[in-house]
Structure formats: C-alpha cells, structure tokens
Structure 1
Amino acid sequence: MSAKRSAPELPEPLAPIVDAHTHLDACGATDAASTVAIVDRAASVGVGRVVTVADDLDAARWAVRAAHWDDRVFAAVALHPTRANALDDEAKAELERLADDPRVVAVGETGLDYYWPGKLDGCADVETQIEGFRWHIDLAKRVRKPLMIHNREADHDLLTVLLDEGPPERVIFHCFSSDTNMALSCVAEGYILSFSGTVSFKNAHELREAAKVVPDDQILVETDAPYLTPHPFRGAPNEPYCLPYTVRALAEVREEDPLELAEITTANARRVYRI
C-alpha cells in the first residue's frame, strides 16, 4: 500500500528544525550524491541538520560515512534491540570504534522491543535484548555521548534497567509512543522525549495527551523516516523534509506557536547532541 502512495508535497518552510532521528539509507541514500540530495530537500523547508541512525552493523558503518559526506548530517550507532543476538565481541569492538568518531553524536538506537519476539524470525529474545541494552548503556557512558532508546511495549523494564545500570548524562527516548504516566516518569528522570509523525495520528489519543506534559527543555522532533509519515500522508514514503508537518501537529497539541516550537526543539537538539 505504501509503495502506491506518492511522496508528500513539500510543506511550507519552518526554520530552524533538526531531525533528531532518521534513517537516510532506508530513505534511498546510497552514496554522497544521493545523501546530499535528500538533505538539500530537507534544508529547502528549514530542516537544516539530521541525525541518521543505525540499526545494524552495516547501517552503523554507512551512517558514519554519510556524516562525513555532508556536514549537515550526524550519525548514531548501535544494534537495534531485535538484533541484539548479533552483538558478539567483533561487533562490540567495531561499535566502540565507530562510536568514537567525532561525527557520531549518540549511541543508538538501542533499548527493548517486546513486540517482535515470537513474531519475527531471528529476533533476539528478551533476555538477550536486556543484555545488549546494558552493554550499550555502558558504551554511551564510556564515550560520553547520549543514549538513544527504542522502546516498544517495554516501559517498566526499560526504566528498571536504566535505573539499575545508572543512565548516561543524556538519554533520548526516540519516537516516544507511551502514555502520560510514562512521559512523566521519564521527565522526572531528566530524559529527553522525541516525537515523530505518530503524534499527528488522530487515533493516538494517549500519545497526544503525553505530549502535553513534556517541558520545553526536554522535547525533540524527528521523522524516523522512511517510516511514520505524518497525517494526512500516512502510508506514503517519509523523508526529513516532512518534519515541518510533524512540528505543526505537535505545536497544535501543545498549544504552542510552530515557529517557537521549532526554535525550542532545535536549541534542545544542539544542546543534547552537542552539534
């Protein structure tokens, strides 16, 4: 179905904005030229910087290369929790090397995903995910970079592991999708919550309520492209240039001015990622 829908039209520009989490390789970028083309398209509507995120080792290598191709691109490296069973000694050594690269601004995406075990062939089981999550927490602390979290149906255990291990200075819940209680728990711990196009979905009532309780200094915006294209383009391919649609939807939920929210989230991204 998504392949049949055409890409969304360019939104009205809204600047400045930082896309705090995207996957440029999954958006079709393969080399420097195609990467620059996607980022140029984003910049034309005010999305001046992007963080491209890895979910496996090949993607981690690619993300670091992309961040060196264009100074508007930054990288995050980790193994996705569903791939934690690939976190052997060789993978750990390479992730440690990649995480030290100056163009890498976060360790992620890591965390826990309780939706896919038992549904997806080869998916890491819960125990393996928790072990991998603990290792990534330690890596983030050693390289002194933010921890970027993927959380799917694992609220309680995620917070428990973070408390048990002791979180790094900066923790980002990418594509926050939980309820108000979880949002308040994260806010109390000083964690940063990043909102994607899901906040524009009309059936995401609990998420929209949660978005209202996040303080201005603990909020980011992202596309998670090519996934989660904002309303009314749900099901169409997503790209960083679509971020203004999400910012305007989030601003409406929070009863804020879109330009002010763009400026707030950009200042937060610069502070959290140190870019």
Structure 2
Amino acid sequence: MPTSTQRQQEPQPAPPLPEPLRVPVADSHTHLDMQEPSVEEAIAAAASVGVTTLIQVGCDLERSRWAARTAAEHPSVHATVALHPNEAPRAAARGELESSLAEIEKLAALPQVLAVGETGLDYFRTGEDGRESQHYSFRSHIAIAKRQDRALVIHDRDAHADVLRILDEEGAPERTVFHCFSGDAEMAAHCASRGWFMSFAGNVTFKNAQPLRDALAVAPPELVLVETDAPFLTPAPYRGRPNAPYLVPVTLRAMAETKGMSEDSLAEHVAANTARAFGC
C-alpha cells in the first residue's frame, strides 16, 4: 500500500471534458508547449467542447519561435511572441536583451503572429535589482507592437501602478489585452475607460478570489476575454489537476454567473472580442 507521501506525489488525472459550449469561443492565452498532450490532441479536445481557436503564447526566444512554428502548422492556432518580464533580467545578465528583442520583432512580423506578449512587469518573482531590465523590456515590447500593428498582451503581477504608468507614458497600442487580469474593480474600471481588454482565467473561480469577481462584474462585456493560461490556474472544482484549453467552458460558465449573463450571451461577446483584439 502506498504511503500518504507517495499518494500526494502521484500525478492527478486530467479533468473530464465539460459539456460543450453552444457558441464557439477562443482560449486567448495558453501554453501548449508546457502541456503533456500533443498539440493535435489538445486542439481536438478543445474543439470537441466548442473552443475552436487557441492563442499560443511565447515567454522567451525559444518558446516564441516554437509558438510561431506551431501556429504556422495549425490553422486554429495563432501565436504571440515576447520575452516574459522575468526573462528580461536573465537576458540582460547574459548580454542578450537587445539581440533577443530584435529577434522578437522579426517574429512579430510573421503573419501567424497576432500579438506581442506576454510582456509587462512581475514584481513577485523578480526583485528590485531586475526592475530596470523589466521596464526597458516592457517599453520595447510596446514599441514593437505599435510598429508591427500587433495586439499587446500584458503580464501584470504585483505591479499594477507601474504597468498603468508605463502604458500611459509610452502610449498603449490600440489593442491591449491584460492577460489573467489580476486587478480589482477600480482597476477594471480604469482599463475599461481606456478600451483595454481584460482576459479572465480559472483563478476567477477560486474561493478566495472575490476581488477578482468584483472586477469581472464591472468589466464591460465588450471588453472581456477568457483564457486558461494552461497548464496553470486550473478552474475549480479541478484545482491541482492539469489545465488545458478544453476547460475554457468551466471558466466561462462561472464568469457568466458572476456577470448575471447567459452562457450563450457571454460566449458571443467573448468570440467577438477575441476577433477584435487579435484579428482572428
């Protein structure tokens, strides 16, 4: 008989397929390269429940190249490319930040690449010694997005004030998406006043996430997106188990309940918003 420690270390099974959505939507932010199923299996599982478009997100140079290649090979997959905020100080320490940013811009020009991101600021994992590199990288990504006429996908962790300040100083691209929105209702209202999209992930279903649900409640339906950020942030009741694009319906249904909307109505908004944000 396995010990309790052994049982805790055993991988949890993948959650079951949810009931399919009647209105197809996109997973606006996923990491297929970090998930166990093959790309083909992930696409098929998602499509079977009405998640017909996947936005594959790059986090460093190699993963951005992978995202671009994968999007070129699969019509239902589109790519974003960037250096994650936590990657910027590491690239700077290697003396590679400028060359990496130049390569990101080349990738951003490819037709299957619809956005620059995830970029932004992360003060949770990177201390003050890395902030200068993060700020420089963020400003550079904003400029790339505008030069290439791409959407901007923002990672914002414990850095709300500085993210908003830099966006105002640099001038946000016309299409700006806050991935895994983590602000409160006041910040949601601020983003709405700027016309920025807010993408909500599985953490909006967590018991301790009432401030996030308050933000979702005030976010205009025409600016709301849904994502998995898979393999991270698996929605309740499946926390601790692998996340994947096919679980978008679980999060979307919870979002609809929070907003007092029907599932179909919210899905229609999400589908239209994704098309406006990413052009897909």
Query: Does 2:49 align with 1:41?
Result: no
Q: Match for residue 236 of structure 1?
A: 241
Q: Match for residue 249 of structure 1?
A: 254
Q: State the one-letter code of the partner of 1:110.
A: T
Q: 2:131 aligns with which of 109, 126, 133?
A: 126
* CA–CA separation in structure 2 for the residues paired with 1:158 and 1:75: 23
Q: TM-score, normalised by structure 1?
A: 0.94
How is 1:103-252 mapped onto 2 (pairs within 5 angstroms)? 103-118=112-127, 125-252=130-257
Q: Match for residue 84 of structure 2?
A: 80
* CA–CA separation in structure 2 for the residues paired with 1:215 and 1:25: 32
* CA–CA separation in structure 2 for the residues paired with 1:2 and 1:176: 31
Paired residue secondary structure (1:212): helix
* Residues 61-80 of structure 1 deviation map (CA, whole Å, 9 limit, x = unaligned): 00001101110000000000
Query: Does 2:64 align with 1:56?
Result: no
* CA–CA separation in structure 1 for the residues paired with 2:99 and 2:180: 29
Q: Is the 8 A contact 1:2 1:236 kept in 2?
A: no
Q: Match for residue 13 of structure 2?
A: 6
Query: Does 2:60 align with 1:16?
Result: no
Q: Is the 8 A contact 1:77 1:108 kept in 2?
A: yes
Structure 2 residue runs without a partner (length 5+): 1-7
Structure 1 residue runs without a partner (length 5+): none
Percent of pairs with identical residues? 48
How is 1:256-275 mapped onto 2 (pairs within 5 angstroms)? 256-275=261-280
Q: State the one-letter code of the partner of 1:35.
A: V
After the TM superposition, which parts of structure 1 deviate over 3 Å for at least 4 consecutive aligned residues?
A: none
Q: Match for residue 71 of structure 2?
A: 67
* Residues 150-187 of structure 1 deviation map (CA, whole Å, 9 limit, x = unaligned): 00011110000000011111100000011111111111
Paired residue secondary structure (2:86): helix
Query: Does 2:44 align with 1:25?
Result: no
The Cα shift of 1:127 comes to 1.3
* CA–CA separation in structure 2 for the residues paired with 1:2 and 1:222: 27
* Residues 188-207 of structure 1 deviation map (CA, whole Å, 9 limit, x = unaligned): 11110000001111110100
Q: Is the 8 A contact 1:2 1:237 kept in 2?
A: no
Q: TM-score, normalised by structure 2?
A: 0.92
Root-mean-square deviation (CA, aligned residues, Å) is: 1.4
The Cα shift of 1:124 comes to 7.0
The aligned length equals 267
* CA–CA separation in structure 2 for the residues paired with 1:115 and 1:83: 13
The Cα shift of 1:2 comes to 8.1
Go from structure 1 to structure 2 and tell me whether the alpha carbon gap of 1:58 and 1:42 turns closer, same or farther (over 3 Å shift): same
Paired residue secondary structure (1:76): strand
Q: Match for residue 94 of structure 1?
A: 103
Structure whose alpha-carbon radius of gyration is higher: 2
* CA–CA separation in structure 1 for the residues paired with 2:129 and 2:222: 34
* CA–CA separation in structure 1 for the residues paired with 2:266 and 2:211: 21
* CA–CA separation in structure 1 for the residues paired with 2:205 and 2:79: 26
